[in-house]
Amino acid sequence: MTDLSDEDLAILDLEDTWSDRFETKAEAIRQTFGWSSSRYYIRLNLLLDNPDAIYSRPVTVGRLRRLRNARAEERGGSSAHSPR
């Protein structure tokens, strides 16, 4: 059992299913949570660093962590979240 909230699980679910139900991810975020994209991505990044998230959804969290690290490398800086 994990300590993830229903909201945390809904964020992870959205990452896997938004393209099946919405035209854009921003629309999916707004309709699902009523949040701005900025707020959503802050929550998502915190969630990706939560050990319970990787335990609960290893494939999804692993994929998102790889994307986050690749984007940080593209920007030319190291991410505080990337392994050293």
* Whole-number average pLDDT of the chain: 90
| Residues 6+ positions from 69 with CB-CB distance below 8 Å | 79, 81, 82
Residue 4: which pLDDT band, with cuts at 50, 70 and 90?
A: very high
Q: What residue type is 4 in one-letter code? A: L
List, for residues 16-54, the tens digit of each pLDDT value.
Answer: 999 888 999 999 999 999 999 999 999 999 999 999 999
The residue ranges of DSSP E strands in the chain, in sequence order, are none
